[in-house]
A and B are shown apart, each in its own frame.
Chain A
């Protein structure tokens, strides 16, 4: 069986690892450190860990001040609160002054599961992506999360890292190289391209396997950086495969699907189908049941791929 690790777990470990080599790393949390896994850093570096209590707006504002004084703050809470509750602080205290704050938000998307719609962020990518100067990264697995955390720390400026609650299969090997703004080609193909991020990358690979069984060669791109998006890889995929499917655990409005459609509408129009949450809130349920009910499975990607190819 494939090894599985939640991206939030990989985040906690990566953060502690980073803390050992970089004394400027400081971490803030809003009373969810055991869930976001920042507690791992907190246990090792109590002097550089600030629990801000259940006050997300103040956490982001404080992170901005720490960054203004030269620190590299990572601020964590659930995605729905980091981007919704504290949106104005992210906008005005972090992005507008381009301060070096990393917002690492966990429990994104439907796979929060049983907590239900109040805790399931379906709009966070859209919110963060619309902010000038914000970099948006959605790692697909534990390996990529670790590298993305390191890249975010090395990059100067605001970064939004979107992480998940459930354990997900490890996709990348130790030789994987992550670069902000670069898509990773996971599988070559000429008939259709599946562009996926986060949890949906695993489903995209499964879909490609199913399609291969039917004689369809699907290209699979892991678009972990949603902003700045890899325009070159998208245009190449559009030219060479002529049809695309996007797959994300997010509203089909404003997220990965929106970003891909925007780029290709201008640069190389081809049929695109978006697999994602269809402009609705979620509900309580197991992650597996939710993904099935809301159309976020490999089978949904296969169906969308066929529709896109038919429109060529």
Chain B
């Protein structure tokens, strides 16, 4: 899908800002998960700045689209997007992981405005998203529910229980992204617990499956539009991504799953993202 030049430029600018926030906030926090935050920065940017109905003045607006970050450890990207979207002050990002902060190490819907579901224990976000989608159908609301899963996260058996249920209940108001960056904490997904072939598995569970480049805004938005047109079943967008995307020394490095950059590393990263 060809995006208008100004839309593309806006999204690229936002994604860059969000990536800069991720690097800065993690360096300030001294811990956290940069790799999987950077890998979904473009997907989350597209959702919050192009796709989803959100009202920054009313984060709990009933008609809003919902976003569940099932891979909760990637919350720096969510916090950065919520701040950039104007749901809370950008300044607050510096408080990540610190005592008394609204920005917890993993998402807490009770503390952070705009966070739809508390996640962090992997495998649970898809079920919650299913529940929201079921409620939307019961209430005849036209809001849509988006959820991002990790490719390591889908080792969890509960994901497949939820995959079955979403298809069984025909949740066509649900769109999932699979952050297929190929790496989990202990190594590549092929080494640790091979979950491939991924599109085939989701198709076998009854989902509409699309495969895209998760760093191409045109492809992300086109896939979301196709998902909206699909009736009677949920859509899984398998997004080929690069873990650590945008920071040269983090890209495809498993070691950057759960380690914060030092001050010097952060400076180098920010220079690359200038």
- What residues of chain A have their CB less than 8 Å away from a CB belonging to chain B? 26, 47-48, 50, 52-53, 55, 57-58, 60-71, 73, 88-89, 91-93, 96-98
Contact = CB atoms under 8 A, between A and B. Distances in A.
A68 B158 contact: no
Contacts of B271: none
Mostly, the B contact residues are helix
Given A61-B128, A65-B130, 17 more contacts: A50-B169, A53-B165, A55-B164, A57-B158, A57-B161, A58-B158, A60-B127, A62-B162, A64-B127, A65-B117, A65-B127, A66-B134, A66-B135, A69-B135, A92-B119, A92-B121, A93-B117
Given A68-B117, A70-B135, A71-B138, A93 B128 contact: yes
B138 A48 contact: yes
A214 B180 CA distance: 74
Contact of A92 (B62, B116, B120, B157): B120
Interface residues of B, number: 35
Contacts, number: 109
Given A55-B165, A92-B124, A64 B136 contact: no
B34 to A, nearest CB: 23
Interface in B41-68: 62, 66, 68
A8 B66 CA distance: 36
A65 B131 contact: yes
A91 B119 CA distance: 11
Interface string B75-90: 0000000000000000
Nearest to A47: B138
Query: Closest 4 interchain pairs by CB?
Result: A65-B131, A61-B127, A69-B135, A58-B161
Given A62-B127, A63-B131, A69-B135, A52 B117 contact: no
A71 B130 CA distance: 13
Listed residue (A26, A58, A64, A66) with the most chain B CB atoms within 10 angstroms of its CB: A58
Nearest to B126: A61
B124 A61 contact: yes
A232 to B, nearest CB: 29
B25 to A, nearest CB: 23
B98 interface: no
Nearest to A65: B131
B132 interface: yes
B109 interface: yes
B263 interface: no
B137 to A, nearest CB: 9
Given A50-B169, A55-B161, A55-B165, A61 B118 contact: no
A197 to B, nearest CB: 30
A91 B68 CA distance: 18
Contact of B131 (A47, A61, A88, A97): A61
Nearest to B116: A68
B132 A69 contact: yes
Contact of A26 (B124, B130, B138, B169): B138
Contacts of B139: 69-70
A96 B104 CA distance: 13
A68 B132 contact: yes
B138 A65 contact: no
A62 B169 CA distance: 12
Given A58-B127, A89-B124, A66 B132 contact: yes
Most buried by A among B118, B123, B131: B131
Most chain B C-beta atoms within 10 Å of own C-beta, residue among A62, A65, A96: A65
A216 B154 CA distance: 62
B158 A62 contact: no
A87 to B, nearest CB: 11
A88 B125 CA distance: 13
B131 A62 contact: yes
A58 B156 CA distance: 11
Contact of B110 (A26, A58, A97): A97
Contacts of A55: 158, 161, 164-165
A156 to B, nearest CB: 13
B129 interface: yes
Contacts of A69: 66, 131-132, 135-136, 139
Nearest to B133: A65
Contact of A62 (B119, B123, B165): B165
Contacts of B110: 97-98
A237 to B, nearest CB: 36
A70 B169 CA distance: 19
A48, A61, A67: residue with the most chain B Cβ atoms closer than 10 Å: A61
15 contacts: A48-B138, A50-B134, A58-B161, A61-B124, A61-B162, A62-B162, A65-B117, A65-B134, A68-B116, A68-B117, A69-B66, A69-B132, A89-B124, A91-B121, A93-B124
B108 interface: yes
Nearest to A48: B138
